[in-house]
């Protein structure tokens, strides 16, 4: 890693996104992992699917060994311009409608769910009793 470091934009790195030319961005560094695709224990699809974005979270979620981390040096090609990586957006769930406590249609539905099967059972027992006695 001697000499001046090359700096790439995320758009430049994103162009290397197939099995013949595969680059990844991990921890602000750019790696050309094309030669490693066949040897990757998780398969080449895992690496190819991590192209075109900051793959740091994907890489760290797996929990790579120290030997895997030391192998990364041979694939290093430069750094990524951090201003070209989109900032992470925290997920905020959509606001749920407020329930009006004054109305209680839930009670009516629950009563129907209880009474309708009971009514069907009563009708079935009545029919059985009527047809058996004649």
Segments of the chain scoring below 70 in pLDDT: 1-4, 88-94, 96-104, 133-134
Total residues found in the chain within this entry = 134
Its domain, for residue 111, covers 103-134
Res 89: pLDDT: 58
pTM: 0.61
Beta bridge pairs of residue 26: 29
Q: Looking at the domain assignment, is residue 89 inside a domain?
A: no
Q: How many CB atoms lie within 10 A of CB 34?
A: 17
Q: Looking at the domain assignment, is residue 131 inside a domain?
A: yes
Res 46: pLDDT: 87
**Interatomic CA distance for residues 23 and 25, integer angstroms:** 7
For residues 51 and 21, membership in a common domain is answered with: yes
Give me 120's structure tokens: 């069907």
Res 1: pLDDT: 47
Phi first, then psi: give them for residue 95, nearest 5 degrees.
-70, 135
């Amino acid at each position: 890693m001697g000499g001046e470091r090359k700096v790439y934009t995320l758009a430049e790195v994103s162009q290397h996104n197939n099995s013949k030319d595969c680059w990844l961005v991990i921890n602000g560094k750019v790696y050309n992992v094309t030669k490693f695709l066949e040897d990757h224990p998780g398969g080449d699809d895992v690496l190819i699917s991590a192209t075109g974005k900051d793959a740091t979270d994907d890489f760290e979620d797996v929990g790579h060994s120290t030997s895997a981390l030391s192998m990364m040096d041979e694939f290093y090609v430069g750094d990524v311009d951090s201003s070209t990586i989109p900032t992470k957006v925290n997920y905020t769930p959509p606001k749920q409608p407020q329930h009006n406590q004054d109305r209680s249609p839930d009670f009516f539905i629950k009563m129907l769910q209880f009474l309708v099967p009971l009514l069907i059972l009563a009708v079935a027992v009545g029919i059985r009793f009527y047809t058996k006695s004649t």
